[in-house]
Amino acid sequence: MKTVILFGSPRKDGNTRQLVDAFTTAMRSKQHDIRLLYLNDMNIRPCQGCMGCTESGVCRINDDMRDVSKYIMESDLIVYATPVYWFAPSGQLKLAIDRCVAFFDKEYNSRIKGKKAITLMSCADQDSGTFQPAVDMFKKTFETLGVEYIGRVQASGCQEKASVAEEMLDAARRLAETL
C-alpha cells in the first residue's frame, strides 16, 4: 500500500511524531511504501480561491504543494498527522487541506475519490472533546473529496514533549496492522 503522511507539526520530535513513528513502524513491518512529508519545511502558500486548478488539476501557485498533490494522487492512503491547536489542525496542515480544491474538476468531481484517510492527532488538553471540531472538519473534508475515513488515533494530555501514553501508541500500531 502506498502511503503519504502529511506531517503538520512544527516539531519533528514531539507528540505527533511519536504517533507517526508507532504507526509507520507497524506499516513498514508489512512492507508498505511510506512517504513522510514535513509540511513545516515546505513552501506551501495559502489558496487564493482563483479556481484555476479546476481546469487543469494543477494549482496556479508554483510551490511545494505541487509535490504534495502528486504524492497524494499516487497514494492509496493519506495520513493526516497533526497537533490540535485551538480545536483545529495545525496551520501547516490546514494550508495543505485548503489547497485540496485542486483535486476537483470544473464539475466538482473528485480526482482522489476512493482513497482512504487516517488521522493521528495529539493535544495538550486532557479533555478528549478538544478533538471533536477537528474530527468534524476532517470528516466533512473527506466526505466532500470522496475519501474514506478509516480510522483515527487521538492522544490527549500531551503537555510535555514526547509524552504520548503507551495505550495511544499501541492504538496507532493496531490501526496500522489493520491495513
Per-residue pLDDT at 61: 94
Most confident range (mean pLDDT) of 52-61, 92-101, 157-166 is 92-101
Q: What is the pLDDT of residue 136?
A: 97
Domain count, the chain: 1
Query: pTM for the complete prediction?
Result: 0.95
Radius of gyration of the chain (CA): 16
pLDDT over 80 at 95, yes or no? yes
Residue 62 has pLDDT above 80, yes or no: yes
The span from the CA of 2 to the CA of 77, in Å, is 6
Mean pLDDT, to the nearest integer, of 78-106?
94
| Identity at 71, one-letter amino acid code | Y
d(CA 47, CA 95): 7
Which structural domain range is residue 9 located in?
2-177
CATH number assigned to the domain comprising residue 171: 3.40.50.360
Q: Rounded mean pLDDT of 108-130?
A: 91
